[in-house]
């Protein structure tokens, strides 16, 4: 094969497709080959829509040949979709036994928007069950491996999304981020992961985990592709009342325009650089800070004093919301139903006990507890108050800087089984990402180096509400001048 399409960006592919330099069918077929070669090792995909993907590409090819109307921003770009996002094609299982074989009667808004932008949906990818986890080990389907080291987890909960982009099995993937599930796996797998501001992207058709925190976002090779995808999937949706009616910029154009003008004041939160942070990760992040300083960025210290309460606050709020959201999976309407129960109560109990995995059951129990009479004030209400304090921390910090920089995760990817016995340790791997969801801010993880043992490290930029334009511009600027380049995983 002369062209290694899997190494190209979405921008490069869509431009070649638009200029008729390559047929989208050829592009898609090369990705299907790539999946066949590497997914036996990585196991990112839960469903590969080979025929359907070729069919989409042929339709696009006809449209381009006949010059029928405008060609979309993601023309011919192969995209994978996390199992938690509804698609009419294939199954939407949330990697849970309780939804095994479930077919959604409709497409999520983001999926409709991808089709409208002429992207090619190539299949669905693995995740932690109902997006609860940080390693994709909670999937009821299979384990997904980190393309940089097959003995390590890809992160989670969108581990399949991150691994599929990093392994070159697709160019863009959509994941969801409730407490770090886009940024942390992006950091572990060496790709870019963007969690937009809460309300920027419609959640219609995203199976709800914690509705006040969930947000859909893209995985990509670079910030520019992330910008293009956000312009495609973002915007007000009448079917999601929490989506916000603000103008949706053409982010890629804005990045190009803003590049030379941008002055950067970067805040480093002192609470993010303590002894909890792995020494090697810290050194790599500080190296990236130096790169940014060389580009003329001004570095200031900021403080986010309520950081130490973020994990506890998050696990009260997200479990409370999950316990309500997951009540609908009762064996009556969707998916799995326990076969031979004597009465309806037994049917509910056995369906839910057998249909949900241990982590999901733990969260439903915790969430029911924190919402119950007598505990509501002590836990749930208090957590809401701390959430407000965490939000105010960011507001104060942003008076001193335009963007906040820190690690995405305290460690690089860990080994399978390392944290499964201790849920608290697993929860702590989200320490730097969780506050961003609690404060509804946008955050992006960008690769910034490799450890001695060859594992990627990501840095996180956190932006102001609805200021993805600036966030993406800074991320892009950093990429242009980054001293340590990652390359591609040593897979094949």
The residues binding ligand GLN (CB under 6 A) are 131-134, 157, 176-181, 209, 318, 430
Q: Is residue 181 among the annotated active site residues? A: yes
Query: Please, which residue, 95 or 223, has the CB nearer to ligand GLN?
Result: 95
Query: Please, which residue, 5 or 314, has the CB nearer to ligand GLN?
Result: 314
Nearest approach, Cβ of residue 134 and ligand GLN (Å)? 4
Phi, psi of 265 (to 5 degrees): -110, 115
Query: Please, which residue, 107 or 177, has the CB nearer to ligand GLN?
Result: 177
Query: Please, which residue, 89 or 128, has the CB nearer to ligand GLN?
Result: 128
Q: How far is CA 287 from CA 184, 185, 407, in A?
A: 20, 21, 12
Provide the terminal-to-terminal Cα distance of the chain, rounded to the nearest Å.
14
Nearest approach, Cβ of residue 203 and ligand GLN (Å)? 13
Query: Please, which residue, 305 or 423, has the CB nearer to ligand GLN?
Result: 423
Cβ burial 190-209 (10 Å sphere, 16+ → b, else e) = bbbbbbbbbbbbbbbbbbbb
Nearest approach, Cβ of residue 326 and ligand GLN (Å)? 13
Give ∠ CA 470-472-478 in degrees, rounded to 5: 105
Q: How far is CA 483 from CA 189, 219, 294, in A?
A: 19, 22, 11
Nearest approach, Cβ of residue 339 and ligand GLN (Å)? 31
Q: Give the tokens for residue 486.
A: 């990652």
**Which is catalytic among the residues 82, 113, 221, 419?**
82
Q: Is residue 82 among the annotated active site residues? A: yes
The residues, ordered by sequence, that sit 6+ positions from 221 with a Cβ below 8 Å of its Cβ are: 9, 10, 165, 171, 191, 192
**Which is catalytic among the residues 181, 220, 231, 409?**
181
Rounded distance, CA 176 to CA 385, Å?
25
Which 3-state string (H, E, C) describes 245-270?
Answer: CCCCCCHHHHHHHHCCCCCCEEEEEH
Q: Give the tokens for residue 127.
A: 């995740």
Element (H, E) at 300: strand 298-302
Q: How far is CA 48 from CA 143, 307, 347, 381, in A?
A: 16, 40, 33, 44
Rounded distance, CA 323 to CA 353, Å?
14
Q: Is residue 400 among the annotated active site residues? A: no
Query: Please, which residue, 95 or 457, has the CB nearer to ligand GLN?
Result: 95
Nearest approach, Cβ of residue 93 and ligand GLN (Å)? 16
Closest residue to ligand GLN: CB criterion: 181
The three-class DSSP label of residue 193 is strand
**Which is catalytic among the residues 157, 158, 323, 409?**
157
Q: Residue 367 burial by CB count (10 A; 0-12/13-18/19+): exposed, middle or buried? A: buried
Nearest approach, Cβ of residue 131 and ligand GLN (Å)? 4
Query: Please, which residue, 80 or 134, has the CB nearer to ligand GLN?
Result: 134
Nearest approach, Cβ of residue 186 and ligand GLN (Å)? 12
Question: Which residues are known catalytic residues?
Answer: 82, 157, 181
């Amino acid at each position: 094969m002369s062209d290694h399409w899997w190494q190209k960006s979405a921008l490069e592919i869509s431009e070649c497709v638009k200029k008729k330099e390559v047929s989208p069918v050829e592009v898609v077929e090369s990705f299907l080959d790539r999946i066949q070669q590497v997914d036996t090792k990585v196991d990112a995909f839960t469903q590969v829509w080979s025929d359907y993907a070729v069919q989409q590409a042929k339709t696009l090819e006809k449209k381009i040949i006949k010059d029928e109307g405008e060609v979309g921003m993601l023309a011919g770009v192969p995209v994978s979709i996390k199992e938690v996002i509804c698609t009419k094609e294939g199954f939407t299982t949330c990697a849970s036994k309780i939804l095994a074989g479930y077919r959604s009667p409709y497409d999520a808004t983001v999926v409709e928007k991808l089709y409208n932008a002429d992207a090619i949906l190539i299949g669905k990818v693995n995740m932690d069950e109902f997006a609860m986890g940080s390693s994709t080990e909670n999937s009821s389907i299979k384990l997904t491996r980190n393309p940089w080291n097959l003995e390590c987890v890809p992160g989670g909960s969108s581990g399949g999304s991150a691994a599929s982009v990093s392994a070159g099995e697709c160019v863009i993937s959509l994941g969801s981020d409730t407490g770090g599930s886009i940024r942390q796996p992006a950091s572990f797998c060496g790709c870019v992961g963007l969690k937009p501001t809460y309300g920027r992207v419609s959640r219609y058709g995203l199976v709800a985990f914690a509705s006040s925190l969930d947000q859909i976002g893209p995985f990509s090779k670079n910030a520019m592709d992330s910008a293009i995808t956000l312009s495609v999937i973002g915007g007000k949706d009448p079917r999601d009342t929490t989506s916000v009616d603000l103008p949706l910029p053409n982010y890629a154009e804005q990045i190009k325009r803003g590049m030379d003008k941008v002055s950067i004041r970067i805040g480093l939160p002192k609470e993010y650089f303590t002894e909890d942070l792995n020494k090697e990760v810290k050194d790599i992040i500080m190296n990236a800070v130096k790169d940014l300083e060389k580009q003329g960025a001004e570095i200031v210290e900021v403080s986010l004093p309520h950081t130490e309460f973020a994990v506890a606050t998050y696990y009260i709020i997200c479990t409370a919301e999950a316990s309500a959201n997951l009540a609908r999976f009762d064996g009556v309407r969707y998916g799995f139903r326990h076969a031979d129960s004597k009465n309806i109560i037994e049917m509910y109990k056995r369906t839910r006990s057998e249909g949900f995995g241990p982590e999901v059951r733990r969260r439903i129990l915790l969430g029911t507890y924190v919402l119950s009479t007598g505990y509501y004030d002590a836990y749930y209400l208090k957590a809401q108050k701390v959430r407000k304090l965490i939000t105010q921390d960011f507001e104060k910090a942003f008076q001193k800087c335009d963007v906040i920089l820190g690690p995405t995760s305290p460690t690089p990817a860990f080994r399978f089984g390392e944290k499964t016995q201790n849920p608290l340790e697993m929860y702590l791997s989200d320490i730097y990402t969780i506050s961003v969801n609690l404060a509804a801010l946008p955050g992006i993880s960008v690769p910034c180096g490799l450890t001695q043992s060859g594992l990627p490290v990501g840095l996180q930029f956190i932006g102001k509400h609805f200021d993805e334009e600036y966030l993406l511009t800074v991320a892009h600027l950093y990429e242009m001048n980054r001293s340590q380049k990652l390359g591609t995983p040593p897979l094949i």
